[in-house]
Structures are given as C-alpha cells and as structure tokens.
C-alpha cells in the first residue's frame, strides 16, 4: 500500500485507483498489438531512456517511468491513424490507472491529441521519444554502427540536416527541450548518454 500511495503523491492525483501493470504484463500487452521488431525495440529503447532519467530525478518511481516509455506507442502499429487515441481505450479496457494513460498519451500532444505533458516525467517522454530515433539513425551512419562512439556534436549536425531522418520531428524535439527548460544541446547530450548506457543491453 505504501508503494501505491507514494506514486499517487508523486503524480499529485491522490491514491492510484487503477492498475499499474508489471513490466512483464506491459510487454505482453505491447506484443499483443505490435509484432514489428523495430517497434518493439523502439519501445524498449524509450523505456530504458526513461529509466535512466528516473534514476536521476525520481528514483522511487523508476518502473513507472519505464512503463510509460514501454507503452507510449502501444497503438501505433495497428492503429497509426488513431495514435495516442486508441491506446487510451486499450489501456482503459485493461483497467490501467489514468495517471499512466495520461503519461503515455501526452507524448502525442498537438500531433494527434490535446493531452498536454504536465508532469516532469511526461515532458521527458515527449522530449526524448523523437530524439531517440534521430540518435539511432545517426548511429547507423557511424563507422561503428553504434551509439558508443557518437558525440553530441555529431547528433546536432544531423539534427540540422533536414533531409536526414526526416520522420523525426525537429519541432517536437525543440518543444520538448523548451518544456523542460533545457537547451537543445543539453537535451541531446543527456539523451545520448542515456542511450549509451543501454548500448550493451539493447545492442545500440
């Protein structure tokens, strides 16, 4: 019960009323709606990045942050036209708590939904999601084909190249940095460090 109350206090939403799944339960749900290895790996990357930041800023709730990262694109593969909309429905059908649903959906703010990132954790998810894709694409251009040898300067250079990894929204990344009150350079450096910490675990 103490764990439940502490999460509720952290989210300023009172005591958690719905279900907070385990990581295993969340992975099973993710795989029910996603079969593409790219999507599954992206979910694990974002989850790992969220865990990295949680250990710095909110160490009591690392798993909650990781869950939000893991489930953020739950509906994208099967319902791309209803992204961040359908996943709310799916998660509610499973009885998941509204705090987790809000966190997951908020990364689509002003893109597919009007659910605004409010908590620091939600802003981190919003800011880093697209950036992980850009960093991953940059790594593939590196001789080592890995994030290990990348520098923030290399990522920033690719960020400025509009034709490179065009699907990774620069506007979202910039807006995310602004939401957090960080410079773009700081966001890039921190997210790259997060991904480098996952290099061995996720073969990045």
1 confidence band (pLDDT: 50, 70, 90) = very low
Using 50, 70 and 90 to split pLDDT, how confident is the model at 162?
A: confident
At residue 17, does pLDDT exceed 80? no
Higher confidence at residue 78 or residue 204?
Answer: 78
Q: What is the dihedral of CA 76, 130, 132, 77, to 10 degrees?
A: 10
User: pLDDT digits over 39-69, tens only?
Assistant: 999 999 999 999 999 999 999 999 999 999 9
Distance in angstroms (rounded) separating the CA atoms of residues 97 and 174: 29
Q: What is the pLDDT of residues 140-150, one digit of tens each?
A: 998 888 999 89
Task: Identify each DSSP E strand in the chain by its residue range.
Answer: none
* Cα distance between residue 162 and residue 55, in whole Å: 33
Query: Model pTM?
Result: 0.90
* pLDDT at position 4 over 50: no
CA separation for the pair 168, 50 (Å, rounded): 18
pLDDT tens-place string over residues 68-122 = 999 999 999 999 999 999 999 999 999 999 999 999 999 999 999 999 999 999 9
pLDDT for 193 beyond 70:
yes
| Residue whose token pair is 């694109």 | 73
Pair 148, 140: CB distance under 8 Å: no
Rounded mean pLDDT of the chain? 91
pLDDT exceeds cutoff 90 at 6: no
Q: What is the Cα–Cα distance from 184 to 152, expressed in whole angstroms?
A: 10
Matching residue, tokens 């593939």: 140
């Amino acid at each position: 019960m103490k764990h439940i109350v502490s999460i509720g206090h952290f989210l300023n939403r009172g005591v958690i009323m719905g279900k907070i799944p385990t990581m295993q339960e969340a992975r099973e749900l993710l795989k029910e709606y996603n079969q593409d290895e790219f999507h599954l790996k992206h979910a694990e990357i974002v989850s790992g990045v969220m865990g990295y930041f949680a250990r710095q800023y909110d160490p009591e709730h690392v798993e909650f942050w990781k869950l939000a990262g893991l489930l953020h694109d739950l509906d994208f593969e099967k319902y791309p036209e209803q992204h961040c909309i359908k996943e709310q429905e799916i998660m509610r059908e499973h009885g998941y708590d509204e705090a987790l649903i809000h966190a997951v959906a908020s990364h689509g703010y002003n893109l597919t939904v009007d659910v605004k990132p409010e908590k620091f954790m939600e802003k981190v998810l919003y800011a880093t999601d697209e950036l992980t894709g850009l960093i991953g694409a940059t790594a593939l251009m590196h001789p080592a084909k890995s994030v290990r040898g990348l520098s923030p300067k290399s990522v920033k250079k690719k960020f400025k190249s509009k034709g490179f990894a065009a699907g990774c929204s620069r506007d979202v990344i910039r807006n995310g940095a602004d939401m957090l009150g960080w410079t773009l350079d700081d966001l890039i450096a921190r997210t790259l460090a997060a991904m480098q910490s996952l290099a061995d675990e996720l073969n990045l």
